[in-house]
Amino acid sequence: MIRKLSLSLVLLTILSVTAVAQKAKTSTKKGSSAPAQLSPAEKMGYARTSKYWGAGTYYCYAPGSVNNKMATNSESAMRDLIGLFEADFNKEIGKQGFVEVPKKEVKKWFNENNSKDKVFYYSADKSYILQPVVQELEKSPAMENGKLAKVSNALMRHVLIPKEDSLKVMDAVWQYLRDLKEMKVIMASFGSTFKNADPKAYPIQRAGSTGWTSMRAGTFVLKMVDGKPKGYWERNEDIVRRTIGKPGFELKILGQELGYGYALNVTLQKEGYVLDYFVNDIFFKELEPGTTWPMEYPGKVKEYQTAIKMDNESLYKNAPLPPVLEDLNKLLHIK
């Protein structure tokens, strides 16, 4: 089940380029190339007070020209809550109006395994449930008290939409795609299916794309017609609109950029459509003492740019049955 997707899956291979395990900021040292003036990221509404990150050591603070512009949307808001000491994190979400969900109000649709250890929060308007992951950074240097840094390194938000409101689900999915594009996130995959879906059927029953260009092309299926193979392309949006609401409907989107992995999982359950949004810090998984962003940043940029170059139209122009590539802004309903 897509709902059981581990956060680690966000680190999937991007367009046949091996997704390199990224390394994080951990050192007290500041690189000589660190910016002298505050960047837009450093002017955010809260301060990173830890000596283990600051100018030149954190993703948003990296020297040089950052690929990802400072977008302001739901995903960037979640991303900006990652990398905070536990006390700073709790203070920040309190400022933003999050309130802990009482144990008696915890529901199975957002606490699948009925865990007693997980902590959930209502958003200020109760439109979603926030589930943070705050963990010790096992590879980071010990703090002054001898303990490891305990930091927010992943966030999930859970949304429930009634079964009869599938159009609202479609709007949420396409808004998510627009948000990823705004942040210049690499599209790892887009896919949908349902119980007993036939992968060879036409009209197509399972959507599947890897990369923004692949999303523009749509999903391909090869069928035998009068004893001869015949291929068909179909827009992913048309496939999803036609199949949403079928028993066991599932949809997932995976994305990645320099420092973070993103995922949206949609499942049709008895309570309604459950939308699970994930933002996961990649670098915390591979922390090594002494590593700083000024040391690591140039290599990360090259990896990102390589993945971008691989996602191009030439892969389709030379195909035996080339698709008509739709304008991405039109596809995402931006214009």
| Sheet bearing 186-193, strands edge to edge | 99-100, 121-122, 129-136, 150-161, 272-281, 260-269, 250-256, 186-193, 207-209
> Helix, strand, coil % (nearest 5) of the chain?
30, 25, 50
Spans of the chain below 50 pLDDT: 1-69, 287
Tell me the sheet residues that pair with 224: 229
DSSP run (H or E) holding 153: strand 150-161
Assign 136 to helix, strand or coil. Answer: strand
Tell me how far CA of residue 51 lies from CA of 48, 56, 109, 153, 279, in angstroms: 9, 12, 39, 17, 24
Sorted by where each begins, the domain ranges of the chain are 2-331
Q: Where are the alpha helices (DSSP H) in the chain?
A: 74-79, 86-95, 166-182, 212-217, 236-243, 293-310, 314-317, 328-331
Q: Which residue has the tokens 């035998």?
A: 224
| Structure token pair of residue 109 | 């649709």
The predicted structure's pLDDT at residue 100: 97
The predicted structure's pLDDT at residue 28: 34
Per-residue model confidence as pLDDT tens digits over 78-92: 887 887 778 888 988
- 112/158 Cα distance (integer angstroms): 11
Contact residues for 221 (Cβ-Cβ < 8 A; gap 6+): 199, 200, 201, 202, 204, 231, 232, 234
- 149/26 Cα distance (integer angstroms): 10
Q: Is 113 buried (19+), middle (13-18) or exposed (0-12) by CB count in 10 A? A: exposed
Would you say 25 and 283 are in contact if contact means Cβ atoms under 8 Å apart? Answer: yes
